[in-house]
């Protein structure tokens, strides 16, 4: 255990709480394993519950029972949430007992709709605390101005509190003083204080996300090289500096005479908890914030991806008390370049409260939709007619379950694909697509603002220069959704054929065209040539302002990133480097063009994240839509049915282009492969041999179509997988699947 980073953090006085909860995580034993490994607490929020309920069958049986009891949506959610919170609290109770109440907590959120209602939040907090009926639960209260008043009352009333959505040092001081005031009130009323616990959840990476955007905007505006370097130096430093200043205040508040009097009566410190620790910028290490904020009397909350990264390559040492003068210098420099941190943290608090309220709304809508689906008799959204191949598929699914395939995928265990050799390191560094949707979600506001900026600038057309993986997803979205009213048309050039280039160029008004140069490596020869050609054409018209019409999407540190800076591109989007081109649909490569088309990218990501939760490690293989489909494809390919014919409803036919490259380039490396067949006119059953598997993606409609009849006929003689999409946005989930 000595080399376990979670244990090392505990040795440095920091606890690790898992930022995730769902029924399958508890029922499968996975949470118990995490606790044994060093996790000492769990946090929840409405977004986590929404993804778990929408993206799994974990709750279906209980949902049916609650619907049968006539429960309303709010009552259904509370019943499901309380059951999960109690079960997790019971698993953590030994930790709570062993640490004498320091750790072992599960957090449950009050309704964000009460964020500015102090009396309503107090009433709700007391009710939920009593409803859970466990001493090791904390009620989450947002750190709004009203929330500060709530903290004092709940602490005085004996309710453990997790204060959430803290961004500013000033607000943190108010929260810490409210905690002390609550303890003092308890003592005045003759109550004990030695069993009361609280944490102050200080959000980290979101501060950098907003500050860095403002620094980048200032950098684009300046023509002074020294100023540009100064702005670049400040990137990625605001959040850690802000957190270190909060920790300095924590140490001061919990060391003075006021605290000493409470400590003498057995009171516990209100520990600082680092929230939003997942790295949002691919230019930074995936354990950047975790490693920088290690120190005594703190808690770090880790989402699954960050926990996995920490276990794999985290380096632990006391870092919080280091370089406090530098942190102060960073904050002074930010002010000097015009970044008002008080305004930044105020905006983040406002956005945070709204985001949590939106999550509750989405959660209730999700439960309502799931309730309707479970009671409507509608068939499963995926099904297979397998005939004599069913036994082989069942054996394959059982084998995947035995080999713990889902858990190994999520832990980035390269031995699932290669037992040994040089390829393993490459595989481990190529699985960023598993969590990229979560990362991109943090940048939705920036993407939306970028789209507004582009349309306001009068851009009529967007020209994407890309090859293969960097162009296929945008082309699918262009052909499937088209451009929303008021948004520019998208053109995709993935060829160096002169006639094709000329034909596209003739449709463009170049001064009103935004050119996206998309290349993971930044050195793809075809894209380099296209970039040079179109930059010269725009430069001939706009001169030194040509760069304003260009955007780059590339990995950090590539030649393209350097050239884009030198040519003063309007924007540079740096993609996570651990994503291969053909797996980049849900990254900047797919979603920057999507937002410029006017798509609801948040909705697309919602569907992707629901599918993500349906495919996580605690979901049994037969219920895991990704593994299930993979098991069917693999089992039948090994039995000779290695020609996968894609049959799509006309509205989503373009999705086949993307799947074709994904399968063709990802298999066949060791003499075993699958040949995707896309765009073929569907024939009768007799028109095919016994080497075919059909996968039908059907967009739900009220009436059957001619294509449905053809697929029904194929089912009589061939294996057929059918996947039903409720609308076009379900493609987000299918990209992930």
- Return left, alpha or beta for 522; rule: phi > 0 is left, psi -120 to 50 is alpha, else beta: left
Q: Which of 140, 244, 520, 643 is the catalytic position?
A: 140
Whole-number Cα distances in Å, 169 to 116, 298, 345, 548: 20, 16, 9, 38
The token duo for 731 is 């493609």
140 is catalytic: yes
Nearest C-alpha neighbor of 454 from the set 491, 488, 492, 505:
488
Q: At 37, which helix (H) or strand (E)?
A: helix 30-37
Cβ-count burial 623-633 (b if 16+ within 10 Å, e if not) = ebbbbbbbbbb
Of the CA atoms within 13 Å of residue 246, those in its CB half-sphere come to 32
Dist CA 91 CA 587 (whole Å): 36
Listing DSSP states for 159-213 in one string gives --EEEEEE--HHHHHHHHHHHHHHHHHHHHTT---TT--EEEEEE-HHHHHHHHH
Q: Find tokens 């860095």 and name the residue.
A: 212
Q: How many CB atoms lie within 10 A of CB 186?
A: 20
Kind plus residue range of the DSSP H or E element containing 726: none
Compute CA distances 467 → 460, 507, 532, whole Å: 23, 21, 15
Output DSSP code: residue 111.
Answer: P
Sort 672 into a burial class: Cβ within 10 Å, 0-12 / 13-18 / 19+: exposed
CA Rg, the chain, in Å?
A: 27
Which CA distances in Å does 384 have to 90, 662, 736? 39, 22, 20
d(CA 580, CA 493): 20
β-bridge mates for residue 552, sequence order: 517, 572
Q: Where does 377-435 have alpha helices with state H?
A: 390-402, 405-410, 423-428
Angle of helix 469-481 relative to helix 588-596, nearest 10 degrees?
Answer: 30
Q: What are the residue numbers of the active site? A: 140
């Amino acid at each position: 255990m000595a080399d376990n980073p979670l244990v090392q953090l505990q040795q440095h006085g920091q606890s690790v709480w898992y930022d995730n909860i769902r029924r399958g995580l508890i029922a499968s034993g996975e949470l118990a394993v995490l606790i044994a490994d060093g996790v000492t607490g769990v946090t929840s929020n409405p977004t986590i519950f929404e993804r778990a309920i929408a993206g799994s069958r974990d709750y279906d049986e209980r949902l049916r029972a609650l619907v049968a009891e006539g429960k309303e949506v709010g009552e259904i959610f509370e019943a499901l949430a309380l059951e999960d919170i109690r079960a997790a609290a019971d698993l953590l109770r030994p930790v709570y007992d062993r640490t004498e109440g320091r750790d072992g907590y599960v957090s449950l959120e009050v309704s964000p709709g009460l964020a500015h209602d102090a009396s309503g939040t107090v009433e709700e907090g007391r009710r939920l605390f009593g409803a859970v009926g466990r001493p090791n639960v904390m009620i989450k209260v947002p750190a709004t101005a009203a929330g500060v008043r709530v903290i004092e009352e709940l602490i005085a009333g004996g309710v453990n509190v997790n204060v959430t959505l803290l961004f500013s040092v000033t607000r943190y001081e108010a929260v810490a003083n409210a905690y002390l005031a609550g303890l003092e009130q308890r003592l005045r009323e003759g109550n004990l204080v030695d069993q009361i616990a609280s944490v102050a959840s200080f959000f980290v990476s979101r501060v950098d996300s907003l500050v860095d955007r403002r620094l980048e905007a200032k950098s684009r505006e300046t023509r002074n090289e020294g100023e540009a370097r100064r702005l670049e130096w400040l990137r990625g430093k605001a959040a850690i500096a802000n957190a270190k200043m909060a920790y300095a205040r924590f140490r001061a508040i919990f060391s003075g005479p006021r605290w000493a009097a409470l400590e003498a009566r057995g009171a516990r410190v209100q520990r600082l908890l680092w929230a939003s620790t997942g790295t949002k910028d691919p230019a930074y290490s995936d354990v950047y914030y975790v490693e920088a904020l290690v120190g005594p009397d703190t808690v770090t909350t880790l989402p699954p991806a960050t926990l996995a990264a920490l276990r794999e390559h985290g380096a632990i040492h006391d870092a919080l008390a280091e370089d406090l003068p530098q942190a102060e210098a960073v904050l002074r420099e930010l002010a000097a370049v015009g970044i008002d941190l008080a305004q930044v943290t105020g905006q983040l608090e406002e956005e945070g409260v709204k985001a949590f309220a939106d999550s509750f709304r989405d959660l209730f809508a999700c439960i309502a939709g799931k309730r309707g689906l479970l009671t409507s008799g509608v068939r499963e959204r995926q099904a297979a007619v397998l005939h004599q191949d069913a036994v082989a598929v069942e054996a394959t699914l059982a084998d995947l379950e035995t080999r713990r395939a889902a858990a190994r995928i999520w832990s980035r265990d390269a031995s699932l694909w290669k037992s040994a050799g040089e390829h393993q390191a490459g595989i481990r560094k190529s699985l960023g697509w598993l969590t990229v949707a979560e990362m991109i979600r943090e940048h939705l506001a920036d993407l939306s603002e970028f789209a507004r900026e582009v349309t306001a600038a009068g851009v009529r057309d967007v020209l994407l220069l890309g090859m293969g993986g960097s162009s296929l997803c945008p082309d699918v979205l262009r052909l499937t959704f088209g451009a929303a009213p008021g948004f520019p048309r998208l053109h995709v050039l993935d060829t160096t054929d002169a006639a094709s280039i000329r034909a596209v160029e003739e449709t463009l008004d170049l001064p009103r065209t935004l050119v996206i140069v998309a290349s993971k490596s930044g050195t793809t020869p075809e894209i380099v040539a296209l970039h040079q050609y179109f930059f010269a054409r725009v430069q001939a018209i706009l001169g030194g302002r040509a760069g304003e019409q260009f955007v780059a999407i590339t990995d950090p540190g590539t030649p393209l990133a350097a050239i884009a800076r030198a040519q003063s591109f309007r924007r540079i989007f740096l993609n996570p480097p651990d994503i291969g081109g053909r797996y980049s649909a849900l990254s900047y490569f797919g979603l920057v063009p999507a937002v410029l088309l006017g798509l609801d990218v948040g909705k697309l990501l919602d569907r992707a994240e629901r599918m993500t939760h349906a495919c996580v490690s605690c979901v049994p293989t037969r219920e895991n839509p990704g593994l299930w489909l993979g098991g069917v494809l693999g089992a039948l390919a090994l039995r000779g049915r290695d020609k996968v014919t894609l049959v799509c409803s006309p509205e989503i036919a373009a999705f086949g282009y993307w799947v074709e490259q994904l399968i063709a380039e990802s298999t066949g490396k060791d003499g075993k492969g699958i040949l995707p067949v896309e765009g073929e006119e569907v024939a009768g059953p007799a028109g095919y041999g016994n080497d075919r598997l059909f996968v039908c993606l059907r967009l739900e409609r009220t009436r059957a179509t001619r294509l449905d009849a053809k697929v029904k006929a194929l089912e009589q003689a061939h294996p057929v997988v059918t996947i039903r999409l409720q609308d076009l946005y379900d493609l987000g989930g299918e990209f992930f699947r």
